[in-house]
Amino acid sequence: MKEKKEQYLQESTVRVSTTAKKKLLHDGFSVEELRQLSSDELTELSQEIRQCIIEKCLKNGGHLSPSLGVVELTLALHYTFQTPQDQIIWDVGHQAYAHKIITGRISEFGTLRCRGGISGFLRRAESPFDVYGAGHASTSVAAAAGFAKARDLNNEEHKVIAVIGDGAMTGGLAFEGLNLIGSEKLNVMVILNDNDMSIDKNVGGLSKYFNRAISARFYNRIREDMQKFVKSLPAGASIYEWLRRLEESMKNMMIKGAFYEDLGFNYIGPVDGHNIRELISLLKKAKEIKGPVLLHVRTKKGKGYLPAEEDAETYHGISGRNSKKKKQTYTNIVKRELKDLGEKDPDIIAITAAMPSGTGLCAFKESFPERYIDVGIAEEGAVTMATALALSGKKPFVAIYSTFLQRAYDQLIHDTALQKAPVRFLLDRAGLVGEDGPTHHGAFDIAYLRSVPGMTLLAPADRDELKAMVRFCYDFKKGPIALRYPRGESIPRLDKKKIPVEYGRGVLLREGKDILILALGRMVAEGLKAAEELEQSGLSAGVFNLRFAKPLDESAILALSSRYRAVVTLEYGTISGGIGEALGGLLLSKGKYTQGFLSIGLPDAFVEHGAQDELMTLCGLKGEALARKVEEWFRSE
């Protein structure tokens, strides 16, 4: 299979280079031009767009499978609606590459996810067609409700459309949005992009026939007139209720939209999401329906690229053809450790929010399926469920990206911490994640977790320390504990003594006399590099591996700081609310404030997208640049 995919990759590259010269897609292509094309030309354009997406994603990386699956739907939407006056809200935005290409960004598409280039998600600052920016799932429907309410209050008449995938529909926020739109009877179209459900051909045929009927203007006009007439009869209320139930029963026989109908939506679907002619026909009819409409579109993830069609999960997000696969990633280490623990203890339960591969839980899932739980895109539910499991004597590990735990902050405080439940949080992608950009950087977990009473937070400096910390979390029973670790290849052992992990205790890795560097996690290695660079400049720097962000090793820090002329803190998270502020406050409160104090970390701003090393250099977090920054500051002080 691997050889087959490699062969197809090479062949597809050749096809792209020869067919991308067609005249339909060109620099400066616009939606106005799109609306002048015939159905056959739209089909041809969809293939050119696919080839463009494949070519650029294989080079730069990106969310390949999701974007390939919605090319026809994207064209049909912009063809039917007068965008950007009519507002399309894409859920997450990682499926909106075709949208970017046809809305004036074809010439910039080669810069996708590169530093200084266009984002891999939607950004309002990038284009008026990007109505709502998001990198987290399930936001589109509630956002559509807000845009529609503002439109109505302003006495405007443009359309509002939310496009959401079946995966994102598992998020509670999506259902809150549906409930809001249905209860307010807002004129909003929600398009459910279903790329996973299998629908029987016979049911599909009946559904297609019924769709034409219920989406026709004549049907809906007659339906409204009949409602008024029946209700005017002496026994009108009873007759109307009987007819309503009959209509609902017919729909339940032919389509699976009863749930959405009960929420107040006119349900249409499922419809073939790769048939442009049919999509345009239904969209034109559906946009004339008053009130909430849900259009159920069935698509194939990875459409048009064989490897992605056969393995949509792997090709959901790729790193680019020139990237090297790293075997010793932090995620893989956690994967092995958790599986080993699971073999020894039947009380361990692994929980994820729709990210089994990204968080390394696949091995645990395969070995212990009865103790593996995927809650879907429902981080709040994951935390509350884990709390109840912990209170029941189980040992839950919640593996989740740092940026996604933000969505469950209330549950973390109200449910887990308040009840001192020993839930173990494995926070992957802590720090800068790279090309996914500001929506995915794990910049804030140190700040938001340090403020939670009873929370323990630790971070490994290297791969051996990570292994030890996973075991430490397993043994910890005093309350919630979070282990944060970065994306990418792990760092070999830095501490040759291999000192065991003790609660709230750090380790001095290097002696010095001028500058004390207090570093946490990923920044310990950079602190050691900076210390070596500083030594070449005649400055002696000691490096202390904090290990814990909470609690801090106060006694050791206070004792060490009095022996140095200056203290520098290094953290792979935002400075605002981070350990630098905590350590500065500690030294000041104890009268141990040294001659100088400098806190270094991620800036109090949203860091843009780009390669990890580029962004670390940009933020002044790499060893050599770090040393120059510290030296300039020290000498000026």
pLDDT computed for residue 209 by the predictor: 45
Output the six-digit token pair for 294: 């849900």
- For the question of whether the overall pTM of this predicted structure is more than 0.85, the answer is no
513 is catalytic: no
192-196, 211-215, 328-332, 606-610, range with the lowest pLDDT: 211-215
pLDDT computed for residue 346 by the predictor: 97
- Read off the pLDDT of residues 298-316 as tens digits, 9 standing for 90 and up: 998 888 888 887 777 777 8
- Closest residue by Cα to residue 552 from 457, 479, 461: 457
The larger pLDDT score, comparing residue 94 to residue 485, is at: 485
CATH 3.40.50.970 maps onto the chain at 71-92+134-298, 330-484
DSSP symbols for 540-557: -EEEEE--EEES--HHHH
480 vs 248: CA distance, rounded Å = 48
Of the residues 379, 435, 526, 631, only one is catalytic, namely 379
pLDDT computed for residue 219 by the predictor: 52
1-5, 259-263, 616-620, 626-630, range with the lowest pLDDT: 1-5
Domain 507-636: assigned CATH number: 3.40.50.920
pLDDT computed for residue 248 by the predictor: 59
pLDDT computed for residue 290 by the predictor: 92
Cα–Cα distances in angstroms (integers) from residue 613 to residues 430, 487, 488, in the given order: 15, 12, 11
Q: Does 88 have pLDDT greater than 90? A: yes
pLDDT computed for residue 16 by the predictor: 45
422 vs 503: CA distance, rounded Å = 15
Domain 71-92+134-298 classified CATH 3.40.50.970? yes
Q: How far is CA 516 from the centre of its chain?
A: 37
Fold of domain 330-484: Rossmann fold (3.40.50)
- Read off the pLDDT of residues 39-76 as tens digits, 9 standing for 90 and up: 999 999 999 999 999 988 888 888 888 889 999 999 99
- Read off the pLDDT of residues 29-42 as tens digits, 9 standing for 90 and up: 989 999 999 999 99
301 is catalytic: yes
Output the six-digit token pair for 523: 């920044």
Let me know if 238 is exposed, middle or buried by CB neighbors in 10 A (0-12, 13-18, 19+). Answer: exposed
Phi, psi for residue 417 in degrees, rounded to 5: -70, -45
> Which strand (E) or helix (H) includes residue 508?
strand 507-510
Which of 93-107, 161-175, 422-436 is predicted most confidently?
A: 422-436
Q: Does 199 have pLDDT greater than 60? A: no
Is residue 491 within 8 Å of 525, Cβ to Cβ? yes
Q: Does 591 have pLDDT greater than 90? A: no
Q: Does 202 have pLDDT greater than 50? A: no
407 is catalytic: yes
What is the average pLDDT across 615-628? 91
pLDDT computed for residue 197 by the predictor: 39
Of the residues 50, 105, 395, 407, only one is catalytic, namely 407
What is the average pLDDT across 336-346? 97
Output the six-digit token pair for 134: 């998001």
Work out the angle at residue 540's Cα, subtended by the Cα atoms of residues 534 and 543, and round it to the nearest 5 degrees.
85
pLDDT band at 262 (very low <50, low <70, confident <90, very high): confident
State the alpha helices, DSSP H only, in 255-359.
Answer: 258-262, 276-286, 306-310, 330-344
Q: Is 444 helix (H, G, I), strand (E, B) or coil?
A: coil
> Which strand (E) or helix (H) includes residue 565?
none
Cα–Cα distances in angstroms (integers) from residue 517 to residues 117, 166, 446, in the given order: 35, 48, 18
61 vs 597: CA distance, rounded Å = 40
pLDDT band at 180 (very low <50, low <70, confident <90, very high): very high
pLDDT computed for residue 238 by the predictor: 74
484 vs 466: CA distance, rounded Å = 9
378 vs 271: CA distance, rounded Å = 27
Q: Which residue has the tokens 């995966």?
A: 167
pLDDT band at 252 (very low <50, low <70, confident <90, very high): low
Is residue 52 within 8 Å of 109, Cβ to Cβ? yes
Strand partners, 329: 489
pLDDT computed for residue 152 by the predictor: 96
- Read off the pLDDT of residues 440-469 as tens digits, 9 standing for 90 and up: 999 999 999 999 999 999 999 999 999 999
pLDDT computed for residue 380 by the predictor: 94
pLDDT band at 201 (very low <50, low <70, confident <90, very high): very low
**Cis bond leading into 356, ω under 30°?**
no
Is residue 320 within 8 Å of 56, Cβ to Cβ? no
pLDDT computed for residue 245 by the predictor: 66
Q: Is 597 helix (H, G, I), strand (E, B) or coil?
A: strand
Integer-rounded Cα radius of gyration of the chain: 28
pLDDT band at 251 (very low <50, low <70, confident <90, very high): low
Chain mean pLDDT for the chain: 87
121 vs 140: CA distance, rounded Å = 13
Of the residues 50, 105, 298, 301, only one is catalytic, namely 301
- Read off the pLDDT of residues 355-401 as tens digits, 9 standing for 90 and up: 898 999 999 999 999 999 999 889 999 999 999 999 999 999 999 99
pLDDT band at 498 (very low <50, low <70, confident <90, very high): confident
State the alpha helices, DSSP H only, in 169-305.
Answer: 172-184, 201-215, 217-232, 236-254, 258-262, 276-286
**Structure letter (DSSP) for residue 396:** E
Cα–Cα distances in angstroms (integers) from residue 438 to residues 426, 428, 614, in the given order: 20, 16, 14
Q: Does 22 have pLDDT greater than 80? A: no
92 vs 90: CA distance, rounded Å = 6
- Closest residue by Cα to residue 161 from 184, 144, 178: 144
Is residue 293 within 8 Å of 260, Cβ to Cβ? no
Q: Does 176 have pLDDT greater than 80? A: yes
pLDDT computed for residue 231 by the predictor: 67
